[in-house]
């Protein structure tokens, strides 16, 4: 299902509007996201784009409400899109069974598409949706599929976000240089053409740079991500990646963007609570769930080998504050040594 839509500005002139993740897949002019959505001619595709927007702007309840009617759509691109967004929106709202139901539906649809030999483009969209859910929530897949084999069949916006997913997976494997290389290559090919996808790629680049202790470069990626996100209030990705950004959110937002910082922290708590519920359900392992966001950032840095003095200088806090925070973290987690801390951290 393709629709051609011409715009008078930006890179949208003559683009093809795909039914699958139409907001992610389009190079709308930054700051004109909502206006762009309203110009999509097909009612159903426009609704999917609004559902995406609600999710990326931190409105999970409205995102789910918008997408739910399409979870059983006869159009597979609409169905994959709706289930993918509902998956993330549901666990963010603490509705784990609904999230897992959406994940299972995507896997069932992909298995059917692989069995009946659906078009490469449709199989690619299915592989994208299932892999995104699996990688970002650390869930095992029941369908045997390798997204790398399908990237060339994806539309360009999803291609860029697929690079983010592959980089994120490599980050979780602690291959920070390899993950950073994927992110930087992706950005060099599509630097700002697809704002939604580019935001996520900048964030995964920042995550890796922090793990490599290249802080100034990480700050630049955060600034670039925010330049793409702020004009359209696309704040959700920053809340999703708070812990993995290891203090960058506090450093970048707390002083100069206090209102955005409060929204990001609220998103972080709801996103993290849902992530922990799914993680416990699947892995039977514990993660830190009683730390403040600042304590979690300190714990991530300390777990990565930063000293209290280094963390203090980076976060503009006193060394004594950091030392006290580490002791509080130990008390909350019921541990007594740095060696035990790693089991509670995300990566």
**What is the per-residue pLDDT for 272?**
77
Taking 50 as the pLDDT cut, the residues of the chain under it are 1-15, 283-284
Closest among 48, 110, 95 to 278, alpha carbons compared? 95
Q: Which two tokens stand for residue 311?
A: 């963390």
Report the DSSP beta bridge partners of residue 336.
Answer: none
Closest among 119, 200, 190 to 156, alpha carbons compared? 190
Chain centroid to Cα 246, Å, comes to 15
As a whole number of angstroms, the longest Cα–Cα distance in the chain is 63
Cα separation, 220 vs 209, whole angstroms: 10
Q: Are 162 and 194 in contact (CB under 8 A)?
A: no
**What is the per-residue pLDDT for 295?**
87
**What is the per-residue pLDDT for 1?**
34
Q: Are 105 and 87 in contact (CB under 8 A)?
A: no
Cα separation, 115 vs 58, whole angstroms: 36
Q: Is 44 left (phi over 0), alpha (psi -120 to 50) or beta?
A: alpha
pLDDT in tens, 201-240: 999 999 999 999 999 999 999 999 999 999 999 999 999 9
User: What is the H or E stretch that residue 32 is in?
Assistant: none
Cα separation, 45 vs 77, whole angstroms: 10
Q: Tell the residue number behind the tokens 């996103």, with chain if given.
A: 271
Cα separation, 66 vs 82, whole angstroms: 9
Sign of dihedral through CA atoms 292, 314, 345, 142? positive
**What is the per-residue pLDDT for 14?**
38
What is the DSSP code string of 289-346? -SS-HHHHHHHHHHHTT--HHHHHHHHT--HHHHHHHHHHHHHHHT--SHHHHGGGS-
Cα separation, 154 vs 168, whole angstroms: 18
């Amino acid at each position: 299902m393709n629709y051609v839509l011409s715009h008078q500005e930006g890179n949208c002139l003559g683009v093809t509007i795909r039914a699958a993740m139409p907001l992610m897949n389009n190079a709308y002019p930054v700051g004109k996201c909502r206006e762009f959505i309203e110009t999509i001619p097909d009612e159903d595709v426009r609704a999917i784009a609004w559902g995406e927007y609600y999710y990326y702007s931190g409105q999970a309840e409205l995102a789910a409400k918008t997408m739910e009617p399409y979870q059983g759509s006869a159009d597979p691109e609409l169905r994959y899109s709706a289930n993918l967004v509902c998956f993330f929106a549901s666990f963010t709202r603490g509705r784990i069974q609904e999230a897992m139901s959406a994940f299972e539906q995507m896997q069932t649809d992909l298995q059917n598409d692989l069995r009946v030999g659906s078009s490469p483009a449709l199989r690619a969209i299915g592989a994208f949706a299932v892999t995104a859910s699996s990688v970002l929530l650390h869930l095992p897949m029941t369908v045997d599929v390798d997204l790398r084999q399908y990237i060339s069949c994806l539309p360009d916006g999803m291609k860029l976000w697929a690079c983010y997913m592959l980089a994120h997976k490599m980050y979780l494997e602690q291959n920070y240089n390899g993950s950073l290389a994927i992110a930087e290559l992706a950005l060099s090919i599509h630097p700002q053409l697809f704002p939604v996808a580019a935001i996520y790629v900048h964030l995964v680049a920042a995550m890796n740079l922090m793990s490599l202790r290249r802080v100034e470069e990480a700050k630049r990626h955060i600034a670039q991500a925010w330049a793409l996100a702020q004009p359209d209030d696309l704040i959700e990705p920053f809340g999703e990646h708070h812990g993995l950004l290891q203090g960058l959110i506090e450093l970048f937002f707390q002083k100069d963007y206090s209102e955005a910082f409060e929204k990001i922290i609220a998103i972080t708590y709801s996103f993290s609570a849902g992530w922990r519920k799914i993680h416990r359900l699947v892995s039977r392992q514990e993660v830190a769930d009683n730390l403040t966001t600042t304590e979690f950032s300190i714990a991530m840095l300390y777990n990565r080998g930063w000293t209290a003095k280094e963390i203090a200088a980076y976060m503009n806090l006193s060394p004594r504050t950091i030392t006290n925070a580490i002791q509080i973290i130990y008390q909350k987690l019921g541990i007594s040594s740095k060696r035990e801390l790693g089991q509670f951290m995300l990566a």
